[in-house]
Amino acid sequence: MQPISTIPVFHVSDVEASEQFYTRVLGFSQAFRYGTYVGLKMGTCEIHICPPDEDDSRIGGGNVYVICDEVDGYFQKIKTAGAQVIREPGDRVYGMRDFVVEDPDGNRLTFGCDKEG
């Protein structure tokens, strides 16, 4: 078995509002929708959103780190579009330049690129 990729699944309180946030603010596109389960895609990255199921009622609290080719231009674009900024872009001790935003339910997305690249 050889893993190919991972896809974070974020539990959200309002699928419609979250889908609008991810497409209009962050620039993802809807790849598919099965009822209240939505696949969002940007380039080769995917995030799925859905309401919690009966076995797990948690909403928010998810995290994902998205590797990018650059972050500063994208940061300005989504900040202007209304993204909730948690941490501004900066060079980190672990060799990345990144920033953190939060979706309406408190799921955090970090977008980062290699400082050397």
Structure tokens at 48: 């799925």
- Please provide residue 41's backbone torsions phi and psi, each rounded to the nearest 5 degrees: -140, 140
> Which ranges constitute the DSSP H helices of 5-52?
15-20
pLDDT at residue number 69: 94
Rounded mean pLDDT, 80-88:
96
* Residue 1 within any structural domain of the chain: no
* Residue 61 within any structural domain of the chain: yes
* Residue 2 within any structural domain of the chain: no
**Can you give the residue range of the structural domain that contains 96?**
9-114
pLDDT band at 22 (very low <50, low <70, confident <90, very high): very high
Which amino acid makes up residue 60?
G
* Residue 107 within any structural domain of the chain: yes
* Residue 32 within any structural domain of the chain: yes
* Residue 78 within any structural domain of the chain: yes
The count of domains in the chain is: 1
* Residue 44 within any structural domain of the chain: yes
Span 86-96, pLDDT tens digits: 999 999 999 99
Span 29-68, pLDDT tens digits: 999 999 999 999 999 999 999 999 877 778 989 999 999 9
How many CB atoms sit inside 10 A of residue 17's CB? 13
pLDDT band at 5 (very low <50, low <70, confident <90, very high): confident
How many CB atoms sit inside 10 A of residue 56's CB? 8
- What CATH number is associated with residue 95? 3.10.180.10
* Residue 3 within any structural domain of the chain: no
